[in-house]
Structure 1
Amino acid sequence: MTIAQKLQVVLFKPQGSIDLQGGMALSQSMAEVVPQPDQLWVIDLAEVDFMDSSGLVPLVKTLTTARQSGCRLVLCHVKAPVRLILELTQLESVFEVFDTYDDILNLVSKQPLALAS
Structure 2
Amino acid sequence: MSPAAENQVILFELPGSIDLSGGNLLTEEIARIIPAKNQIWVFNFASVNFMDSSGLVALVNGYKKARQHSCRFVLCNLQAPVRLILEVTQLDSVFEIYDTYEDIFAESASSALPDLVVAS
TM-score (norm 2): 0.83
Partner SS, residue 92 of structure 2: coil
Partner SS, residue 49 of structure 2: strand
Supply the distance in 1 between the matched residues of 2:84 and 2:67 (Cα, whole angstroms). 24
Asked whether the equivalents of residues 41 and 72 of structure 1 are also in contact (C-alpha less than 8 Å), the reply is yes
Supply the distance in 2 between the matched residues of 1:42 and 1:80 (Cα, whole angstroms). 18
Q: Which amino acid aligns with 1:11?
A: L
Partner of 2:109: 110
Over the aligned positions, Cα root-mean-square deviation in angstroms equals 1.8
Asked whether the equivalents of residues 53 and 85 of structure 1 are also in contact (C-alpha less than 8 Å), the reply is no
Cα deviation for residue 105 of structure 1 reads: 2.2
Q: Which amino acid aligns with 1:82?
A: V
Supply the distance in 1 between the matched residues of 2:4 and 2:69 (Cα, whole angstroms). 18
Supply the distance in 2 between the matched residues of 1:42 and 1:60 (Cα, whole angstroms). 14
Higher strand share: 1
Is 1:44 equivalent to 2:35 in the alignment?
Answer: no
Identity %: 55
Supply the distance in 2 between the matched residues of 1:75 and 1:52 (Cα, whole angstroms). 16
Partner of 2:90: 90
Partner of 2:116: none
Supply the distance in 1 between the matched residues of 2:67 and 2:13 (Cα, whole angstroms). 20
TM-score (norm 1): 0.85
Cα deviation for residue 48 of structure 1 reads: 0.7
Partner of 1:30: 30
Higher RCO by CA contacts (8 Å cutoff, separation 6 or greater): 2
Which runs of 5 or more structure 2 residues have no equivalent in the other structure?
A: 111-120
Moved runs in structure 1, 4+ residues, more than 6 A?
none
> CA 1:105–1:24 in 2, change beyond 3 Å: closer, same or farther?
same
Which runs of 5 or more structure 1 residues have no equivalent in the other structure?
A: 112-117
Cα deviation for residue 73 of structure 1 reads: 0.4
Supply the distance in 2 between the matched residues of 1:72 and 1:96 (Cα, whole angstroms). 8
Q: Which amino acid aligns with 2:44?
A: D
Q: Which amino acid aligns with 1:38?
A: N
